[in-house]
């Protein structure tokens, strides 16, 4: 389940350093590849071994707004086959498994010193029920778990760049999840800045339900986790390479799970993001004149 950058995930963990900033005035295309030590989503450990998470997107202007569409994926690296130690979306089916695909679309537009964003994201699991028996012990996610979320975000162009987001699952879970995030760039030199982020999650309906047809992400309503992050963007030609580190403090019992047999109040994960983007066409005449 993708960290919406839309995803700001960008943002870290749902929204920092996961994608380049999209300009509202020009069309852009971009791609990103994240190599992380684990797949942690909303404080939940969906895998606890390395993953590769590629993302491609295109953004284009629509008046003063910007429309972005893209697709994000998660690939399990290595074989997750230790029933005591491994967590895996793919159920230990293979050593290189395409476990999840999330198509998404959003529209963002400025309102004063804020940016409002509305979008939708799908969660699609390509693996099927015909997988080996071992997959059942790892909680294999199949098409039966496919679902859809709608979301809205408000980001503010003020100190600490606060952002408030709400996601509502309209299919399998039918509940809301909220995030509040803030970030700050610590200038280390003229060309180097350390990005610091903090995020808090809140569940309102994505917990355990009495309805047997509904799934859940958390055990209880209320605070789910805290996420503290740091990233150091580095430029290499046309690419931006960002080492990222997260510390997650679990509040909901499920966010404390680190393996099938272990829990912890805090967990550490991180990796590196490699991003590329390109502006298409020329800037609008009005914008070009302002820069002359």
The DSSP secondary structure of 201-221, one letter per residue, reads: EEEEB-S--S-TT---S-SSS
Asked whether residue 254 is domain-assigned, the answer is yes
Give the pLDDT confidence of 148-192 residue by residue, as tens digits.
999 999 999 999 999 999 999 999 999 999 999 999 999 999 889
Give the pLDDT confidence of 37-93 residue by residue, as tens digits.
999 999 999 999 999 999 999 999 999 999 999 999 999 998 787 878 888 888 777
Tokens of 63: 């008046």
Domain range enclosing 258 = 27-291
Question: φ, ψ for residue 135 (rounded to 5)?
Answer: -60, -35
State yes or no: pLDDT of 202 exceeds 70.
yes
CA-CA distance, 17 to 241, in Å (whole number)? 10
Asked whether residue 11 is domain-assigned, the answer is no
What confidence category does residue 280 fall into, taking pLDDT thresholds of 50, 70 and 90? confident
Mapping DSSP to helix (H, G, I), strand (E, B) and coil, where does residue 290 land? helix
Asked whether residue 190 is domain-assigned, the answer is yes
Q: Is the dihedral of CA 160, 52, 48, 218 positive or negative?
A: positive
> Which residues on adjacent β-strands are paired with residue 29?
58, 278
What confidence category does residue 30 fall into, taking pLDDT thresholds of 50, 70 and 90? very high
Of 54, 56, 33, 52, which is closest to residue 241 (Cα–Cα)? Answer: 33
State yes or no: pLDDT of 118 exceeds 50.
yes
CB atoms within 10 A of CB 113: 9
Element (H, E) at 7: none
* Mean predicted confidence (pLDDT) in 122-130: 85
Asked whether residue 22 is domain-assigned, the answer is no
Q: How many CA atoms lie within 13 A of 242 on its CB side?
A: 27
Give the pLDDT confidence of 233-248 residue by residue, as tens digits.
999 999 999 999 999 9
Asked whether residue 90 is domain-assigned, the answer is yes
Measure the CA angle with vertex 204, ends 266 and 114; round to 5°.
Answer: 85
> Which residues on adjacent β-strands are paired with residue 240?
235, 275
CA-CA distance, 149 to 168, in Å (whole number)? 5
Mapping DSSP to helix (H, G, I), strand (E, B) and coil, where does residue 288 land? helix
Asked whether residue 212 is domain-assigned, the answer is yes
Q: What is the pLDDT of residue 93?
A: 74
CA-CA distance, 270 to 229, in Å (whole number)? 9
CA-CA distance, 71 to 7, in Å (whole number)? 11
Of 183, 192, 193, which is closest to residue 163 (Cα–Cα)? Answer: 183
The contacts of residue 292 (CB under 8 Å, 6+ apart) are none
Q: How many domains does the chain have?
A: 1
Asked whether residue 194 is domain-assigned, the answer is yes
User: Could you tell me if 40 and 13 are in contact, meaning their C-beta atoms sit under 8 angstroms apart?
Assistant: yes
Q: What is the mean pLDDT of the chain?
A: 86
Q: What is the CATH number of the domain that holds 45?
A: 2.40.160.40
Asked whether residue 249 is domain-assigned, the answer is yes
């Amino acid at each position: 389940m993708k960290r919406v950058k839309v995803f700001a995930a960008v943002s870290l963990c749902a929204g920092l350093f996961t994608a380049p900033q999209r300009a509202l005035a020009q069309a852009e295309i971009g791609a990103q590849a994240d190599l992380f030590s684990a797949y942690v989503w909303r404080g939940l450990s969906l895998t606890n071994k390395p993953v590769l998470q590629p993302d491609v997107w295109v953004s284009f202007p629509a008046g003063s707004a910007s429309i972005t569409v893209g697709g994000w994926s998660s690939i399990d690296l290595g074989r997750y086959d230790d029933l005591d130690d491994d967590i895996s979306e793919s159920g230990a089916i293979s050593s290189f498994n395409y476990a999840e695909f999330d198509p998404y679309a959003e529209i963002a537009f400025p309102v004063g010193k804020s940016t409002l964003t509305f979008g939708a994201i799908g969660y699609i699991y390509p693996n099927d029920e015909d997988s080996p028996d071992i997959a059942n012990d790892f909680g294999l996610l199949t098409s039966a778990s496919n679902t859809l979320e709608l979301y809205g975000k408000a980001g503010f162009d003020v100190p600490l760049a606060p952002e408030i987001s709400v996601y509502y699952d309209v299919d399998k879970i039918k509940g809301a999840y909220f995030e509040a995030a803030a970030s700050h760039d610590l200038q280390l030199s003229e060309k180097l800045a350390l990005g610091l982020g903090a995020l808090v999650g809140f569940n309102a309906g994505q917990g355990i339900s009495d309805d047997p047809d509904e799934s859940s992400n958390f055990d209880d309503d209320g605070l789910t986790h805290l996420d503290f992050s740091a990233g150091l963007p580095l430029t290499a030609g046309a690419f931006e390479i960002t080492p990222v580190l997260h510390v997650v403090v679990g509040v909901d019992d499920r966010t404390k799970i680190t393996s099938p047999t272990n829990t912890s109040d805090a967990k550490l994960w991180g990796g590196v993001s490699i991003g590329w983007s390109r502006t298409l066409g020329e800037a609008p005449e009005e914008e070009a004149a302002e820069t002359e």
